[in-house]
């Protein structure tokens, strides 16, 4: 606890608090996305039938795609300034400054297609989209640091945690 406190406290002396708030928000939103994706996986794999926790099922087969189409219509109807801004950008500028927005729209498109094919529940899909949208609003610098932190965490997990986990010991027994 003391080591963790020092690891957090020392950098906070050198950076603005907004930076840490945004970085914490990125991690929280990502955790919510993982929970929603886990609910989708449990529904799809049949594991949710064995679980005590039940998520209300609202068929998102048509609603996710319809929501995407409605959003596109609203953008072209009411966001002409944004469209003009995008038209004035080069491909490199779009990739540099608008990549997070592009990822959001592609994710919505992908979820719309998969919802249609696999009858995904609407609630986890909407949860993924809302949290991903909130993540896109936090800026690229927070994403870069989040990805670095995620890679470090995964490296520690696969080098140490995976071998020493209780689940791994149960699987070997």
Kindly state whether residue 121 falls inside one of the protein's structural domains.
yes
Residue-range definition of the domain harbouring residue 74: 15-142
Kindly state whether residue 94 falls inside one of the protein's structural domains.
yes
Question: For residues 153 and 130, what is the distance between their CA atoms, to the nearest angstrom?
Answer: 25
What pLDDT score does 52 carry? Answer: 77
Kindly state whether residue 159 falls inside one of the protein's structural domains.
no
Q: Which residue has the higher pLDDT, 16 or 71?
A: 71
Confidence of residue 42 (pLDDT cuts 50, 70, 90): confident
Kindly state whether residue 93 falls inside one of the protein's structural domains.
yes
Q: With pLDDT > 70 as the criterion, what percentage of the chain qualifies?
A: 96
Question: For residues 94 and 130, what is the distance between their CA atoms, to the nearest angstrom?
Answer: 22
Kindly state whether residue 162 falls inside one of the protein's structural domains.
no
How many domains does the chain divide into? Answer: 1
Least confident of 25-39, 105-119, 155-169: 155-169
């Amino acid at each position: 606890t003391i080591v963790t406190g020092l690891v957090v406290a020392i950098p906070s002396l050198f950076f603005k608090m907004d930076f840490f708030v945004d970085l914490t928000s990125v991690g929280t939103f990502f955790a919510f996305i993982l929970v929603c994706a886990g609910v989708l996986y449990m529904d799809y794999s049949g594991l949710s039938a064995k679980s005590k926790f039940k998520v209300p099922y609202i068929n998102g087969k048509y609603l996710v795609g319809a929501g995407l189409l409605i959003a596109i219509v609203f953008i072209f109807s009411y966001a002409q300034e944004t469209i003009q801004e995008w038209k004035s950008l080069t491909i490199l500028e779009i990739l540099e400054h608008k990549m997070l927005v592009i990822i959001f729209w592609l994710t919505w498109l992908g979820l719309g297609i998969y919802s249609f094919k696999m009858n995904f529940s609407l609630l986890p899909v909407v949860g993924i989209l809302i949290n991903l949208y909130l993540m896109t609003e936090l800026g690229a610098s927070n994403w870069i640091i989040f990805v670095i932190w995620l890679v470090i965490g995964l490296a520690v997990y696969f080098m140490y945690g995976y071998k020493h986990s209780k689940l791994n010991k149960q699987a070997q027994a």
